[in-house]
Structure 1
Amino acid sequence: MKTKPVTLEDVLAAKEARYNRQQVFKEKYRKTIVSITLNVPGAVKDTPVLRRLRDYAAQEVKKQFEILGEEQINLITGPEALLAIDTEGWLVKKAAEKIEEAFAFSRLLDIDVFDQAGILLSRRDEGKGRSCFVCGGEFVVCRREGRHSMQDLLHVVEKLLQQFRAYETRCISPAAERIGALAVEAMLYEVTCTPSPGLVDRINSGAHRDMDFYSFMASSASLGSYMNRCAQAGILHDGAVDALLPVLRIIGLEAEQAMLASTGGVNTQKGLIFLLGIMTGIAGWLHGRSLPVTQSTVLEHASQMVKGIVEKELAGAIHKSVQELTAGERLYVTYGITGIRGELAEGLPSVRYKALPALREALDKGLSINDALVHTLLVLMTCVDDTTVMHRHHPDKMRVWVREQAQMIIEAGGMEAGDGRHRCEALDQKFIQENVSPGGVADLLAVTWFLHSL
């Protein structure tokens, strides 16, 4: 939708028009009246997400009271709503205050309540006031004294709207369910393909002592709803694809907590939450715009979404002390290794040009899904800078030793060969002895199956 910048004259005219609408509404119903507007600074006050925020507030009121009448209007000064309720005014006011305080983003709501006599009920009548959404101080004081710049206000509003976008993904559409189901399938297929050298599979826990096959089953089960929500976030997103990433990260952080709760605090799939969250989000975004949802379009838009992520999230690591560095930052500072961020920024070339063709070829030759996935896993080991392995060892352990081991099996026929399974089982034992667990490769295998299934 096109948006028009709002002038002071527009705001004053809208205020007067709102007063007149309220008077007509009061006269018509002679009941408690709820008036919903939004606290949004800046020149643009009417966008799809702001209309949805108004609708959210109205729906929350409807959940608690029988509505006698309702009017909605969308103006350049912002979306508004009026509702008539046959309930004592202060009971409605208390409920409105709870709605305004339920979440951080609720601070953007301004829900006025008029009693049956038409009198505005105010928090200040109870000695209360609303807090500033920038500093937490008293809102009227901050506004009167101009304590915050417009840039600060707009920055905070965008953060709050991102939280609202994450919240509204809890209502899942059938399309988001389908996309999310593919992501969960990819998680499950990755951990069930056996033998997976150094990784948790159906036979053993690989080079891990804190997780097993059932840890991954529990973890994957806990993440299904979050994959749905990432897809739904994409479907609802009305901006450029890069602006979707902060919303996906909010959902991803919630998903991490669910994963940890399901595994007793063990990190089984944190990296996969990041990767599949982005993949499902982009698939949803493409679907929502009626664009083709294909392997190519998803990977191309993944690159666009994270453009500049290496510079934004890793370049600053050179200024940190050794003690402050994360594992990924340490590899970047010491060796220039960009890990999965660099892979994503390039559109996951290991998946696009290596893994997907290998998987298709293996399936076309008649290999079972299990054996085709194991074969693809070996192919990924020959071309991916797996930072999980590099963190435990020197980068050459991955770039030289692991690649040589995987390449030897591939050259011997891989899972097509009669002794392919035996060779992979032997490599599994070797990886366990060397404490090598290519978890990053496993994540990319799951992404490969997800894209293959689109």
Structure 2
Amino acid sequence: MPHPFRQRSAEDIAALGCWALQSEAQLTPKPGLVDCHNSGAHTDMNVKLLLHSAEVLYPYFVELAEVGCVHKKDEPHQMFLSAREIGIRAEEAMLHATGGINTHKGALFGLGLLCVAAGVLGEDAEVETLCAYVAEMTKGITAREMGETRWTRLPEQERWQRSGARGEAESGFYHARNIGLPVYFEALQRGGSQDEAALRALLQLMSHLMDTNLLRRGGQEAVLFVQNRAKEVLQHFSIEEVEKFDHELIHANLSPGGSADCLAITLFLSAFSGGPVFFRIKEVDPCKPIHSF
């Protein structure tokens, strides 16, 4: 029977969070996103900045995991309030380290909560239990922070489409759990490399997610374009097709940052799935772009 990742300490959980961020950053090519080839549809960041940002977040991931380990008996909502204070400090440290550039705000929110959940659950931490605990911690957060009146006036489908990182957490990371992970492991089981599996998972996420980054940059039209184009690239999958898609999004100034965050969460969860685990505590490897599969 396959065994999920069993952490020995809060430091191991935190290292897993950093690995997920750094692996997402180094995956190359990525349409419209910062990678080892270019800065995507961003003029203010590069892959070195993303790797540095992930390192800065490590001690805060440790704190978040420790909160879970030490205060296991706290109610989930109280655990969320404790985590939020640490998360605010983590975001401030990130912005200070990056000169005010928002490198990982969305991913910090999701991965930070998963670090707490992994600390709470310990040996019982698996994908479903982790995601269910985060959903319980964040229950009602989207309506509270968007405003009850505004929230209830939106059609139910649109509520979750436009809820961003908060909605993803409150849904128990629906997209990472039900879209990213299955594609990731299917590619690995077919003999694909970790990079190929991650890239296929990213494209699948892009084809489904109502990415709030894309909404802000190009509205509903941009979201639909990226979703449909990602489906096409998956159907005719090759590095050349992915690179062509990358150039298209750079030209259109579109960055699917929400999908990148979902990929990082997918990678974190992969260590608790009972499938092949690539995580190991190590120094960051140099970028090794994919050339062929």
TM-score by length of 1: 0.55
Match of 2:209 in 1: 384
Distance in 2 between the 1:264 and 1:298 partners? 33
Match of 1:450 among 256, 268, 276: 268
Given residue 243 of structure 1, which amino acid in structure 2 is its aligned partner? Answer: Q
Per-residue displacement from partner, 1:84-138 (whole Å, max 9, x unpaired)?
Answer: xxxxxxxxxxxxxxxxxxxxxxxxxxxxxxxxxxxxxxxxxxxxxxxxxxxxxxx
1:292 aligns with 2:124: yes
Aligned-pair distance for 1:343? 2.4
Residue of structure 2 equivalent to 1:195: 29
Counterpart residue identity of residue 283, structure 1: A
Give the equivalent residue in structure 2 for 1:276.
111
Shift of 1:316: 4.5
Separation in structure 1 between the aligned mates of residue 56 and residue 8 of structure 2, nearest angstrom: 19
CA RMSD of aligned residues (A): 1.8
Summarize deviations over 1:45-104 as a string: whole Å, max 9, x none.
xxxxxxxxxxxxxxxxxxxxxxxxxxxxxxxxxxxxxxxxxxxxxxxxxxxxxxxxxxxx
Q: Return the index of the structure with the highest Cα Rg.
A: 1
Which of structure 1's runs of 4+ aligned residues deviate more than 4 A? none
Q: Which amino acid aligns with 1:242?
A: H
Q: For residues 428 and 368 of structure 1, what CA distance do their matches in structure 2 show?
A: 21
Once the two structures are TM-superposed, the CA of residue 391 in structure 1 deviates from its matched residue by 0.8
- Find the partner of 1:433 among 230, 251, 264: 251
Give the SS at the match of 1:195.
Answer: coil
Q: Which residue of 1 aligns with 2:68?
A: 234
The CA deviation string for residues 256-312 of structure 1, in whole angstroms up to 9 with x for no partner, is 12111221221100111111000111110111xxx5100110011111111111221
Higher relative contact order (CA 8 A, sep 6+): 2
Paired residue secondary structure (1:184) = helix
Please tell me the residue identity of whatever aligns with 1:439: G
The alpha-carbon deviation at position 340 of structure 1 amounts to 2.5
Shift of 1:382: 1.1
What is the match of residue 62 of structure 1?
Answer: none
**Alpha-carbon distance in 2 for matches of 1:181, 1:441:** 22
Cα distance, 1:338 vs structure 2? 2.1
- Choose which of 206, 225, 231 in structure 2 pairs with 1:407: 231
Equivalent pairs, count: 259
Please give the alpha-carbon distance, in whole angstroms, between the structure 2 residues aligned to 1:387 and 1:444: 12
Of the three residues 11, 26, 44, the one matched with 1:177 is 11
**Match of residue 281 from structure 2:** none
Cα displacement string for residues 185-230 of structure 1 (whole angstroms, at most 9, x for unaligned residues): 0000000111110000011000000001111011011111111111
CA distance in structure 1 between the aligned counterparts of 2:150 and 2:132, rounded to whole angstroms: 29
Query: Are the counterparts in 1 of residues 214 and 256 from structure 2 also a CA contact under 8 Å?
Result: yes
Matched residue SS, 1:347: coil
SS at match of 2:244: helix
Q: CA deviation at 1:341?
A: 2.0
Matches within 5 A, 1:14-413: 175-237=9-71, 238-287=73-122, 292-316=124-148, 318=150, 336=159, 337-398=162-223, 400-412=224-236
TM-score w.r.t. length of structure 2: 0.84
Flag the 1:426–1:317 CA change in 2: closer, same or farther, 3 A. Answer: farther
Residues in 2 aligned to 1:277 and 1:447: alpha-carbon distance in whole angstroms: 10
Check whether the contact 1:310–1:342 (CA below 8 A) recurs between aligned residues: yes
Cα separation, partners in 2 of 1:340 and 1:396, compared to 1, 3 Å: farther
The structural deviation recorded for 1:318 is 3.8
Say which structure is richer in strand: 1
Whole-angstrom CA distance in 2 between matches of 1:317 and 1:391: 22
1:121-170 deviation line (CA, Å, top 9, x unaligned): xxxxxxxxxxxxxxxxxxxxxxxxxxxxxxxxxxxxxxxxxxxxxxxxxx
Conservation of the 8 A alpha-carbon contact between 2:109 and 2:165: no
Corresponding residue of 1:421: 239
Structure 2: give runs of 5+ residues left out of the alignment.
1-6, 273-293
1: CA distance between counterparts of 2:140 and 2:55? 33
